[in-house]
Amino acid sequence: MLTKGPAKKVTIFINEDTQHHMMALHDSIMTFLMHKGVSGATATRAYSGFGSHQMLHTPKVEVLAQHLPIRIEFVDTPGKVEEVLPTLYEMVSDGLIEVQDTTVVKLARKPARPEPKLAHERQEGRARLLRVFIGEADKWHDQPLYDAIVQKLRMMDIAGATVYRGLLGYGAKGHQHKKSFFHVSRDMPIMLSVVDSAEKIAAAAETIEGMLEDGLIVISEADIVRLVRGHETGEVSDATSSDR
């Protein structure tokens, strides 16, 4: 089963009209991959292209439109790729097979059918509350710093984060930031609020500290009360992003 971490990406380039056992080769390959339990595959039809035969296939010429390239791509574990590759090698008698090392950073699956809504369950526990105070104009690699921080937190599997935009404020430098009718400030105060377990908050604070040039990080103890649907599972330490 495909999971987060090292994986292999396989790309197959063939012609649309190539046959295999009385059917289109791209259909045969997709059927074979599905039968072998590959996590997923996509076949796309190119607009134009050429290969080792040095002939340009394009829909502009009717006789060449049937020879347009087909690209089949899938990502799976090294073991699964090693299992299916010999057969793919035999099936593709005119084309190209490419195998690359890759990394799966996120794998999300929706349930096959919606589960019935059950009664809510009340969970309580101890957690840590992290607040980060920055300015709206602060940047991280040419993107808003608050946006970059939220993206980092999502990749770290933090339970949730909320970004607040202030109406008025000042910091250690004593500069007042406010919005008025005659002047729209581009550097209003921004606060990010995060609630999670002590271990995850410590890791998040360390990551955020490395992104800040000017700001404030505050960590405090928190008691959480979480309402979850009955079919959800998780540790009591998991928390929503709202302040309780």
Same domain, yes or no: 56 and 143: no
pTM for the predicted model, two decimal places = 0.53
The pLDDT of residue 239 is 47
Separation in Å, CA 62 to CA 7, 65, 66, 106: 40, 5, 8, 42
Strand-pair partners of 227: 122
What the block records as the tokens of 214 is: 């000017």
Q: For residues 94 and 131, state if they share a domain.
A: no
pLDDT at 162: 93
Q: How open is the CA angle 69-70-71, to the nearest 5 degrees?
A: 120
* One domain for residues 92 and 150: no
Note down the domain range covering 59.
5-104
Question: How many separate domains does the chain show?
Answer: 2
- pLDDT less than 70: residues of the chain: 48-67, 111-112, 114-120, 169-187, 227-244
- Give me the residue label for tokens 């929503």: 240
H/E stretch holding 148 reads helix 145-155
Element (H, E) at 64: helix 62-65
Q: Which two tokens stand for residue 169?
A: 């404020």
In a domain, 53, yes or no: yes
- List, for residues 136-176, the tens digit of each pLDDT value: 889 999 899 999 999 999 989 898 899 998 877 665 554 55
For residue 88, give the CATH number of its domain: 3.30.70.120
The strand pairing partners of 121, in sequence order, are 228
Residue 244 within any structural domain of the chain? no
